[in-house]
Amino acid sequence: VSALYIVPTPIGNLQDITYRALSVLRQVDCIAAEDTRRTRILLDFFSIHTSLYILHQHNEYKRIPMLISKLQRGLSIALVSDAGTPLINDPGYCLVQSCQKLKIRVIPLPGPCAAITALCGSGLPSDRFCFEGFLPHKHKLRIDRLRDLSEESRTLIFYDVKHRIIDTLKDMVSVFGLDRYVVLARELTKIWESIYGAPVGQLLSWVQKDHFRIQGEIVLVVAGNCLKKNELSPKILRVMRLLASELP
Ligand code: SAM
């Protein structure tokens, strides 16, 4: 079928590719990939010889007319990213938007996604959640974003990188308080996979004790704010108890 296929690829463990993903990657006329070298390694592993085009964040706009014209001529294209599901903090949104506007068929395949994998292993409520992707790099913007989210009652999911994770956790402590429960899911589906959850103050000390604990790829899953309106936070309650104990 002539269509744009959205094809998730493994986030670490090659066995996570689906049968359907492999058959689509074999059958399409070409594959639009974020990094052709990385995708070539995956394709070689599965002996797939389909031709590759590069589609990364910075050239997505420029490449769209060429890909759209192929689709309009009846060719089929698979979109893949470096790892996981395309469009989820990866390129593809503009291309899919253009296809939908032009009534070109888009066929999204289900498959690996770090956010969903982390949420499912976190032990935090999964019935309602917010995916927040990466927090802003700049300290002030990051604090502003966390403040906007501090009342959110749904589970929050963030992507992060090892050289920023300590700052992220410090900022979470300062905005959410020491007691907000946070799960650090690292190297999912890989040999050193670990999922560790604790109140964020303790989690920060835990990662500071051993830098191996933040090596590799990281997702943070944060408990939603479960305080009811007008209810006092544990921090304020602690201070009040302390003050009360000093009263005659
Ligand atoms: N499209 C991808 C997906 O579906 O998950 C996400 C791409 S985003 C550019 C890369 C981020 O995803 C990493 O910085 C990390 O936060 C997260 N990630 C990807 N693979 C991971 C893994 N195996 N374990 C933990 N986090 C991972």
Report pLDDT digits (tens) over 69-124.
999 999 999 999 999 999 999 999 999 999 999 999 999 999 999 999 999 999 99
The answer, yes or no, to whether any atom of ligand 1 lies below 6 A from the CB of 217, is yes
Q: Give the tokens for residue 51.
A: 């031709």
Pocket test for ligand 1, best of 6, 7, 9, 11 (most atoms within 8 A of CB): 11
Position 20: which residue type? R
The answer, yes or no, to whether any atom of ligand 1 lies below 6 A from the CB of 11, is yes
* Whether the Cβ atoms of residue 205 and residue 240 lie closer than 8 Å to each other: no
Query: Distances in Å between the alpha carbon of 123 and those of 131, 146, 157, 213?
Result: 16, 22, 13, 19
CA 165, 168, 169 angle in degrees (round to 5)? 90
* pLDDT tens digits along 41-69: 999 999 999 999 988 878 887 889 999 99
Residues β-bridged to residue 221: 157, 183
